[in-house]
Amino acid sequence: MKQKNLLLLIILMISASFPIAQNVWNQKSNYGGGQRQGTISFSIGDKGYIGAGIDEYENIRQDFWEYDPNTDTWTQRADYGGGVRYLATSFVVGSKGYAGTGIIGSYNWREDMWEYDPATNTWNQKSDFPGGARYAATGFGIGNKGYMGTGNYRVGPADYATYYNDFYEYNPATDTWIRKADVPEVGRTNAIGMSIGNKGYIGTGFYYYDSRRNDLWEYDPLQDNWTRKADIPGPARFGASAFTILGKGYISGGWYFDPLNDLWQFDPAKNTWTQKQMFPGANRYNGTGFAIGNKGYFGLGGNASGSLADFWEYSPTYPPIRHTCSLIRQW
């Protein structure tokens, strides 16, 4: 029945679920410096930074580039302050990046440390790493401190390599290093390092020629102790890359007895690993990885074909957001 001036209120509830990410990889612009492996890399704010490393002609480089994910572009910045460098170690504390140690030539290692300020695009030398010259160490930042350790050193081709498990805390406010509890078990090199919340993690790597590891250790800076966590379910490896997105860690690539392209997600709250979408690019090791916002970035590195320049963005899977719309019609 129709009535004049009757106000009809019709409310239509529409519920729809839209996933905000799809556990997918998307290829982005190739690295601005060309083919490269064994670089330094980190992210600060909404930008990523990659530099140095070894190119496709086996030249050790010192150039340094900034990546803007909003425009998918690379911009060259001031060269790495320490000069040419391969398999150096880098980490971030606050708004500054830190990179040091590594190789400048055949059996020529370094122990220096440099600070990068993106606001001024400058490098400043800081106190040397106290553990001595080495390469392929690993590091991460937690709060207002940096942490770094492991790696290896070899005098010459006729000498055995020394594999380190020492571990140090760096305070940028005082430019000082303090030795902390050693990484457990054996020394290792080419390991992954990452921080999730207020804890740090070191794992994988190798400790003697053809050895491979798939372990993961959690570092608590307040207690200065290490706790073993669940082993990575995939192949043992060295030269993998790691990044952290919204409270979860990810590792990809590395070398078993061939290069790898798998991707694993670590949930520290559950101490579990979940295999995610395989990296679609070529298998590789000694690549680079970092996160910007809720996206991961991975690429470069090398394999039997030489150094690589491709660069990829990873979007993890999150629970869908439910949107409720109310349509009100009046006549």
CB atoms within 10 A of CB 193: 25
- Of 173, 161, 159, give the one whose Cα is nearest residue 133: 161
Contact residues for 118 (Cβ-Cβ < 8 A; gap 6+):
44, 45, 47, 49, 66, 77, 95, 97
Return the CATH number at 50. Answer: 2.120.10.80
Whether 151 is covered by a domain: the verdict is yes
pLDDT in tens, 280-299: 999 999 999 999 999 999 99
Whether 5 is covered by a domain: the verdict is no
Q: Count the alpha carbons within 13 Å of 50 in the hemisphere toward its beta carbon.
A: 31
- pLDDT in the model for residue 158: 84
Q: Which long-range contacts (CB under 8 A, 24 or more apart) does 108-111 make?
A: 109/133, 109/134, 109/135, 109/153, 110/82, 110/85
Residue ranges making up the domain that contains 43: 10-329
Whether 119 is covered by a domain: the verdict is yes
**CB-based burial of residue 29 (10 Å sphere; 0-12 exposed, 13-18 middle, 19+ buried)?**
middle
Contact 118, 124 (CB under 8 A): no
Whether 149 is covered by a domain: the verdict is yes
Whether 3 is covered by a domain: the verdict is no
Both tokens assigned to 82: 């320490």
pLDDT in tens, 54-97: 999 999 999 999 999 999 999 999 999 999 999 999 999 999 99
Distance, CA of 218 to CA of 195 (rounded, Å): 9
- pLDDT in the model for residue 23: 83
Whether 1 is covered by a domain: the verdict is no
In the chain, which ranges are continuous DSSP H helix?
none
The structure's pTM equals 0.89
From residue 185, give the alpha-carbon distance in Å to each of 35, 149, 298. Answer: 35, 14, 29
- pLDDT in the model for residue 318: 57
How many structural domains are present in the chain? 1
Whether 203 is covered by a domain: the verdict is yes
- Starting at the edge strand found earlier in the chain, the sheet holding 263-267 runs 241-245, 248-252, 263-267, 272-275
At position 32, the amino acid (one-letter code) is G
Per-residue pLDDT of the chain (331 residues; tens, 9 = 90+): 444 444 333 333 333 334 444 689 999 999 999 999 999 999 999 999 999 999 999 999 999 999 999 999 999 999 999 999 999 999 999 999 999 999 999 999 999 999 999 999 999 999 999 999 999 999 999 999 999 999 999 998 888 999 999 999 999 999 999 999 999 999 999 999 999 999 999 999 999 877 999 999 999 999 999 999 999 999 999 999 999 999 999 999 999 999 999 999 999 999 999 999 999 999 999 999 999 999 999 999 999 999 999 999 999 975 444 443 333 233 3
- pLDDT in the model for residue 281: 97
